[in-house]
Chains A and B, each alone.
Chain A
Amino acid sequence: MRRTYLDHAATTPVDPEVAAAMARVLREVPGNPSSIYAEGRRARSLVDEAREQVAAAIGADPAEVVFTSGGTEADNLALRGVLAAREGEADGLVVSTIEHHAVLDTAEDLERHGRARVTRIGVGRDGLVDPADVARAIEPRTALVSIMHANNEIGTIEPIAEIGEICRAKGVTFHTDAVQSVGVLPFDVRTLPVDLVSVNAHKFYGPKGVGALYVRSGTRCATVQTGGGQEKGRRTGTENVPGIVALGAAMRIASERRERDARRLSALRDRIVDGVRARIPGAVLTGHPTRRLPNNASFCFPGTQGESLVVALDLEGIAASSGSACTSGSTEPSHVLTAIGLERSVAQGSLRLTVGRGTTDEDVDRLLEVLPRVVARLRAVSEETVTVPS
């Protein structure tokens, strides 16, 4: 069956050029970057080159880039690292209620172990954090504010520039989880007042298992893992050389293509949003109507269940998700949809459609042909109907 992949927020297929670069390292670069002999030096220079590529893409200095195993580790390092560095002098942590679980659960864990006092700030119905709420939440012992750049479920783009200005004015470190946005939205740390930024290769056509944390020079962020001292001790452990090379290549390609991709993706996304609204009665677009990721169209269809939508679409050859890929398998409405104030009965019928480089107009045509039928079918079977249709 022909497949239509509309879950690029979960992960993206690896760019062939990235895959080739990665395969070349696997085949031809056996060395450990920490080794002093030729093989080691070769690996080291490839890691350096990738670091430069990542830095260039976000306007950073290469020394400010720390490679990690992905977005979750970058978020953990940012939160745990900053709070550890400030232990004894500041322990306040401010997060929004719609952060990814990598941030929310880390904050909760720090709180449970008495290492942070966490302030969680809510969002509006469009998913926007009000910078004034951040300003109010900051107090003298606040060590860190962590607000995501763009939400992974509903695509809302947060006002991180304003939030960053507030943090800077108050002398508080600011972290943003930019896993969904880097490679999709313009991102330049020379103009954005951010201190720490999490990125993840597989969201922009790189491989899974590699990411990075940008740490602005001068930011106090302790190490959370001990060992051989790689990454200047900030993230110790032998470097994932093929992954890092791939991350660098993916980042470079994403920068080159970003504007062109964004125009094309937002046109596809708009076709989905308009088409779904025209064809499916009662469809609710979740997230901000305009301040949203160019590739994200997320909805709720009251009278359906997200899990059933995803299964029914998959059987029709369409890959989509009911929200975050990390929480699939649960029929509880997501914390994000709850935070934007959706009724449980509405939030249960959530569907996230995210387009990418491989998405075509034909894919959107197929979706717009199949989805109304699927929603109608699911709506006809309310949970109260107990008889099997004959």
Chain B
Amino acid sequence: MSERVFVAMSGGVDSSVAAAILAERGYDVVGVWMRLVDAPAAADAPRCCGTDEAGEDARRAAAHLGIPFYSLDYADVFRRGVVDRFVSAYAHGATPNPCVACNAHVKFEALLRDVIAKFGARRLATGHYARVRQDDGRWHLLRARDAAKDQSYALYMLGQRELGRTLFPIGEMAAKEETRALAMTYGLPNARKAESMDICFVPGDHRDLVRGRAPEAFVPGPIERADGSVIGRHAGVGGLTVGQRRGVGAAAGERLYVLRLDLERNAAVVGTREEVTTRMYALDELCFTRGEAPAARFASTAAVRYRGTPIRCEVEVDGERGVLRLAEPALVAPGQAAVLYDGDEVIGGGTVRQALAA
């Protein structure tokens, strides 16, 4: 009997083509769509891949391919693993990456566990643009062939167990156009569907969600320059992001960015791009695809935002914590992921906790 693979189908083109490719390769493919909210009209209802409409698109794509398909309920896991963390991070002056949280806690934890242990699959496939290679007895996570679509940044938390159980057929595509062309060739009903954008579970302004769930983070406070001079009032740190320029509440002739959020004093410190001198950041939740750090202290390159160009760096590791020293200053919000690359290979990463004084 052929190897059973579950494909996480979002209703979009990429995961549908992933399912089609695997079915054509002779895998015993089963489509699965994750329901991420309970009620269709919830205020924090996802508006793309977790909604019933997307589930219908996924179901129709699976039916077209003639594969079994299930909608499975992950609303609890999603709420705890993604939405609650998202709200809490913003309320604490951090800028979370919900895609990283979703991959870490929903797709490659709860769903992967279920398809392997409950439903007897060998692997879970998704429509991510990334590649997995087995080499010298170890699994490697690589950037997608199409650098413009690469999503390896949001997958850095995958370890050997997860990588050995994962397939990313779309990572081999030369370009998004190839995926779409394949979708047309397979006659997929969603071949022309638009790409999903933004934060999937926030229907409008994410600040409304945070305000509703954590009103305490919306107490107005001072906007200060680095020298302590007050130049205005902000509406609450829950609505601010490090690196943000517009809508902070400071009226100044020059372009000012949020440099940091001081929760104890409820202050937002702003400054010019030139005032950003930070090269050193504390990291936590450090993890490595091979299971351990290459050394206690090693040179690497770090991407500090989704599709960001990796910056030369040095990493000092102490268990799950570490210090990241960048070769050039960068403005990185706490809560963002710093992903370590060796060329095209993701070797691991961690969450930026705070900027450190040099």
Give A residues with C-beta under 8 Å from B: 307-308, 311-312, 314-315, 329-332, 377-378, 380-381, 385-390
Check A307 against B113 for contact (C-beta < 8 Å): no
Tell me, rounded to whole Å, the shortest Cβ–Cβ distance linking A23 to chain B: 26
With A329-B35, A388-B112, A388-B162 as given contacts, are A377 and B68 in contact (CB-CB < 8 Å)? Answer: no
Contact partner of A381 (CB less than 8 A), chosen from B35, B117, B161, is B117
Question: Other CB < 8 Å A-B pairs besides A307-B73, A312-B120, A390-B161, 15 of them?
Answer: A308-B72, A308-B118, A308-B119, A311-B118, A311-B119, A312-B118, A314-B68, A329-B71, A331-B76, A332-B38, A377-B120, A386-B109, A388-B162, A389-B116, A389-B117
Check A385 against B113 for contact (C-beta < 8 Å): yes
Check B109 against A377 for contact (C-beta < 8 Å): no
Q: In the assembled complex, which residues on chain B have CB atoms less than 8 Å from the CB atom of A314?
A: 68, 70
Interface size of B in residues (CB-CB distance below 8 Å): 25
Q: In the assembled complex, which residues on chain A have CB atoms less than 8 Å from the CB atom of B116?
A: 388-389
Q: In the assembled complex, which residues on chain B have CB atoms less than 8 Å from the CB atom of A308?
A: 72, 114, 118-119
Contact partner of A331 (CB less than 8 A), chosen from B4, B73, B161, is B73
Kindly state the separation between the CA atoms of A177 and B70 in the bound complex, as whole angstroms: 31
A interface, over-half SS: loop
Kindly state the separation between the CA atoms of A65 and B164 in the bound complex, as whole angstroms: 63
With A315-B119, A377-B118 as given contacts, are A387 and B73 in contact (CB-CB < 8 Å)? Answer: no
Check B113 against A381 for contact (C-beta < 8 Å): yes
Check B118 against A378 for contact (C-beta < 8 Å): yes
Tell me, rounded to whole Å, the shortest Cβ–Cβ distance linking A224 to chain B: 27
Kindly state the separation between the CA atoms of A385 and B35 in the bound complex, as whole angstroms: 20
B102 at the interface (CB under 8 A from A): no
Q: In the assembled complex, which residues on chain B have CB atoms less than 8 Å from the CB atom of A381?
A: 113-114, 117-118
B304 at the interface (CB under 8 A from A): no
Which residue of chain A is the closest to B74 with respect to CB atoms? A331
Check B71 against A388 for contact (C-beta < 8 Å): no
Q: In the assembled complex, which residues on chain A have CB atoms less than 8 Å from the CB atom of B35?
A: 329
Which residue of chain A is the closest to B76 with respect to CB atoms? A331
Q: In the assembled complex, which residues on chain A have CB atoms less than 8 Å from the CB atom of B76?
A: 331
Which residue of chain B is the closest to A385 with respect to CB atoms? B113
Number of A-B contacts (CB under 8 A): 57
Report, nearest first, the 4 A-B pairs whose CB atoms are least far apart: A381-B117, A331-B73, A388-B161, A311-B70
Task: Encode B64-79 as 1/0 by CB contact (under 8 A) with A.
Answer: 0000101111011000
Check A387 against B161 for contact (C-beta < 8 Å): yes
Chain B 287-324 residues near chain A, CB threshold 8 A: none
Kindly state the separation between the CA atoms of A312 and B118 in the bound complex, as whole angstroms: 7
Kindly state the separation between the CA atoms of A386 and B70 in the bound complex, as whole angstroms: 21
Check B73 against A377 for contact (C-beta < 8 Å): no
Chain B 136-167 residues near chain A, CB threshold 8 A: 161-162, 164-165
Kindly state the separation between the CA atoms of A378 and B115 in the bound complex, as whole angstroms: 11
Tell me, rounded to whole Å, the shortest Cβ–Cβ distance linking A76 to chain B: 23
Tell me, rounded to whole Å, the shortest Cβ–Cβ distance linking A122 to chain B: 25
B188 at the interface (CB under 8 A from A): no
Which residue of chain A is the closest to B110 with respect to CB atoms? A386
With A388-B112, A388-B161, A388-B165 as given contacts, are A329 and B73 in contact (CB-CB < 8 Å)? Answer: yes
Q: In the assembled complex, which residues on chain B have CB atoms less than 8 Å from the CB atom of A389?
A: 113, 116-117
Tell me, rounded to whole Å, the shortest Cβ–Cβ distance linking A378 to chain B: 5
Q: In the assembled complex, which residues on chain B have CB atoms less than 8 Å from the CB atom of A312?
A: 118-120
Which residue of chain A is the closest to B112 with respect to CB atoms? A388
Tell me, rounded to whole Å, the shortest Cβ–Cβ distance linking B63 to chain A: 15
Tell me, rounded to whole Å, the shortest Cβ–Cβ distance linking A337 to chain B: 16
25 contacts between A and B (CB under 8 A): A308-B72, A308-B118, A308-B119, A312-B118, A312-B120, A315-B120, A329-B35, A329-B73, A331-B73, A331-B76, A332-B38, A377-B120, A381-B113, A381-B117, A385-B113, A386-B109, A386-B110, A387-B161, A388-B113, A388-B116, A388-B117, A388-B161, A389-B116, A390-B161, A390-B164
Kindly state the separation between the CA atoms of A387 and B161 in the bound complex, as whole angstroms: 9
Tell me, rounded to whole Å, the shortest Cβ–Cβ distance linking B85 to chain A: 15
B30 at the interface (CB under 8 A from A): yes
Which of A315, A377, A381, A387 has the most chain B CB atoms inside 10 A of its CB?
A315
Kindly state the separation between the CA atoms of A331 and B162 in the bound complex, as whole angstroms: 26
Q: In the assembled complex, which residues on chain A have CB atoms less than 8 Å from the CB atom of B112?
A: 388
Kindly state the separation between the CA atoms of A316 and B162 in the bound complex, as whole angstroms: 25
Contact partner of B117 (CB less than 8 A), chosen from A311, A315, A329, A380, is A380
Kindly state the separation between the CA atoms of A312 and B38 in the bound complex, as whole angstroms: 22
Kindly state the separation between the CA atoms of A308 and B111 in the bound complex, as whole angstroms: 12
Check B113 against A377 for contact (C-beta < 8 Å): no
Q: In the assembled complex, which residues on chain B have CB atoms less than 8 Å from the CB atom of A311?
A: 70, 72, 118-119
Check B117 against A377 for contact (C-beta < 8 Å): yes
Kindly state the separation between the CA atoms of A314 and B4 in the bound complex, as whole angstroms: 14
Kindly state the separation between the CA atoms of A389 and B165 in the bound complex, as whole angstroms: 10
Chain B 46-89 residues near chain A, CB threshold 8 A: 68, 70-73, 75-76
Kindly state the separation between the CA atoms of A389 and B68 in the bound complex, as whole angstroms: 24
With A315-B30, A377-B118, A378-B118 as given contacts, are A387 and B68 in contact (CB-CB < 8 Å)? Answer: no
Kindly state the separation between the CA atoms of A315 and B6 in the bound complex, as whole angstroms: 12
Kindly state the separation between the CA atoms of A388 and B71 in the bound complex, as whole angstroms: 21
Kindly state the separation between the CA atoms of A330 and B73 in the bound complex, as whole angstroms: 7
Kindly state the separation between the CA atoms of A332 and B109 in the bound complex, as whole angstroms: 22
Tell me, rounded to whole Å, the shortest Cβ–Cβ distance linking B287 to chain A: 13
Q: In the assembled complex, which residues on chain A have CB atoms less than 8 Å from the CB atom of B109?
A: 386, 388
Q: In the assembled complex, which residues on chain B have CB atoms less than 8 Å from the CB atom of A385?
A: 113, 117
Kindly state the separation between the CA atoms of A312 and B73 in the bound complex, as whole angstroms: 15
Which residue of chain B is the closest to A315 with respect to CB atoms? B119
With A315-B68, A329-B35, A330-B73 as given contacts, are A387 and B113 in contact (CB-CB < 8 Å)? Answer: yes
Q: In the assembled complex, which residues on chain A have CB atoms less than 8 Å from the CB atom of B71?
A: 329
Kindly state the separation between the CA atoms of A378 and B35 in the bound complex, as whole angstroms: 20
Q: In the assembled complex, which residues on chain B have CB atoms less than 8 Å from the CB atom of A329?
A: 35, 71, 73
Which residue of chain B is the closest to A329 with respect to CB atoms? B71
Kindly state the separation between the CA atoms of A175 and B114 in the bound complex, as whole angstroms: 44
Check A307 against B119 for contact (C-beta < 8 Å): no
Which residue of chain A is the closest to B32 with respect to CB atoms? A311
Tell me, rounded to whole Å, the shortest Cβ–Cβ distance linking A384 to chain B: 11
Tell me, rounded to whole Å, the shortest Cβ–Cβ distance linking B53 to chain A: 14
Tell me, rounded to whole Å, the shortest Cβ–Cβ distance linking B138 to chain A: 14
